[in-house]
Amino acid sequence: MRKLGTIIVVIITVSTAVAQDVTLIGEGTREVEKAYRIAGSPQIIDTTIPMATVDYPLLQLQFDTESEVSRIDPVSIRTVDKLAKLYHTYIKLGVGTELMPLGEIYFDATRSRKFLYGAHLKHLSSFGNIPERAPAQFDRTRFGLYGTLNQKKYTLGGNIHYNNQGLHYYGISDTLGLDKDSTAQRYSDFGMDIKYASHKKDSSHFNYSVGMAYNNYSSKKPLEADLEDWRTKENYFALETSGEYLLGKEVFAADFNIRYNGYKYGVVGITGADALDTAIVRNNTVVNLKPTITTTLQDNRFKAKVGLDLVVDGATDKVRAHLYPIAELKYSMFNDIFIPYVGLRGGLTQTTFKGLTNENEFLLPTVYMENEHKAIDFYGGFKGTMSKRISFNIGANFANVKNMGMFVNDTINSLGNKFNVIYDTANVATIEGSISYQLQEKFKFDAIGRFHSYSLVNNSYAWNRPNLEVILRGSYNLFDKFLFNLDVNMEQGRRALVSGPGENITLENGQYAKKLDFIADANFSVEYRYNPRISAFLQLNNIASQRYMRWYEAPVQSFQVLGGVTFRL
């Protein structure tokens, strides 16, 4: 029955769907929803579909790095309850071989902000002789006073000195039987100077200095009273001024100097003890004005200096004026580790009898003097530091020098045991290098080397001048108890002008030249400090015992020993 009912329902449903027009009428209830107002505002809805952002991350590469921080040594500061005591007086007494007495006395002020003053007295003599030479005794006595007043805005200081030097012209064979008096010479030197200098700290002020100096220099008096004027007398006077003004990064400076030197030997128109004696009167006045400008750039790494040196030379009968250039450039690289420099300069050097005898004391009392005129001098090089303990300098210069003085043995006015001065024009090239090492106050060492090349107009060689110079100096402080010092001087390439042929003598351009031996002079000293007030010293001179000729026919003394004690009071 259920199956039959189901079939009847399906038939009725299909029949109804297939019919085209069907009308159904019925009754019922239909509910309609209530209308309401939308509260939101109308908006535009963008139908654009946003594109997805694609992110490509970068590959990260990692490298292994190492860093090292340099260790900075801390500053060592020694704190003391009070400063080390200073002593007013220092005395040094000693004696050496060849009966060589030594005495030195110093008196100085202790610590003071305003006043510095002191005095010293030195004496050294020798009663020894040199084999196969005339008497060779000598003595040197020096006395000096100084004083300085230091104020905030100025400094005022002065010096007084007196030197007395006795010697003998021993550069001759002892077979001639010459006595001491006939070969004796004595130089007397007295002088004084005073200087005032302002040092205002404000850069808007003009700082200046004014100084004056006087010096009297004379040779030994003749034994005969009526020939007293027949000796060398020299009076020197100088007025030296300078000033500078800082404007921005430029320093404007100027020097103005007047130097007078009056040389006199004998009396004009009167004959001396020897028919060859000729009176000489020579007034030598030099005036110079030197303005300069110095500037610094790039945090003071670059420095330049330019200027002129105008010199009026009144040494001859005809007054001459010279103009010398002044130019210098420096540049500091790598925090002063390397400093190249180059420059151009010139100048005139006033020749005096005192200056000549300080270089060669065996000089004739009658010499002709010419001022040295360095027309141009070009120099350059570099200096710097390799560490906080090592510094160096390498440089070269090329100069044209007129009236370059050279010492030669005199065989006209003497027996060859005295020296005269001759002058020539020369081109001089010099290469120099130096290095220094210092480990606080414990160890110090310096080495200096110079090579000179001379090209002269009228002479074959620069007589008695070396081509190669080497200087070595060192000091060592052991526990502040033992102090060691060593200095070595070496020279090579010296030649002397001689009168005729002989051993190791060559003839060049009509001049006989003798090659002098190599010089190697080494001196060593040691001081033992018993306490801060008493010490003992021992000095060994000319360790190699080389009796070399510092000047031709004038050999030096051989090995010497000098010892003594020192006191502080």
Distance CA 130, CA 120 (A): 31
- Return the bridge partners of 139, or none: 125, 166
**Amino acid (1-letter code) at residue 255:** D
Q: Which two structure tokens, joined as six digits, stand for 273? A: 């003890």
Which pLDDT does position 383 carry in this prediction? 94
Q: Which two structure tokens, joined as six digits, stand for 182? A: 């006939």
Count of residues in the chain = 569
Question: What's the start-to-end Cα distance of the chain, in Å?
Answer: 156
Nearest to 233 by CA among 270, 188, 274: 188
Q: What are the backbone dihedrals phi and psi of residue 181, each rounded to the nearest 5 degrees, phi first?
A: -65, -35
H helices of 19-127, in order, are none
Other CB atoms within 10 Å distance of the CB of residue 55: 5
Please calculate the CA angle 225-230-234 and round it to the nearest 5 degrees. Answer: 120
Q: What is the 3-state secondary structure (H, E, C) of 361-415?
A: CCECCCCCCCCEEEEEEEEEEEEEECCCCEEEEEEEEEEEEEEEEEEEEECCCCC
Distance CA 404, CA 465 (A): 11
Distance CA 268, CA 407 (A): 26
Which pLDDT does position 44 carry in this prediction? 52
Give residue for tokens 């300098």: 393
Other CB atoms within 10 Å distance of the CB of residue 170: 22
**Amino acid (1-letter code) at residue 168:** H
Summarize pLDDT for 267-310 with one digit per residue, the tens.
876 766 565 567 888 999 999 999 999 999 988 899 999 999 99
Distance CA 472, CA 543 (A): 14
Which pLDDT does position 11 carry in this prediction? 45
Which pLDDT does position 275 carry in this prediction? 53
Give residue for tokens 């077979």: 175
Which pLDDT does position 43 carry in this prediction? 57
Distance CA 433, CA 449 (A): 5
pLDDT along the chain (569 residues), means of 10: 47 44 47 51 52 49 55 61 81 93 94 91 93 92 96 94 96 85 93 94 83 96 79 95 91 96 85 67 94 92 95 84 95 90 95 95 91 94 91 96 94 89 96 94 94 95 95 94 95 92 88 92 95 94 90 90 95
Q: Which two structure tokens, joined as six digits, stand for 230? A: 């027949």
Which pLDDT does position 409 carry in this prediction? 94
Which pLDDT does position 388 carry in this prediction? 87
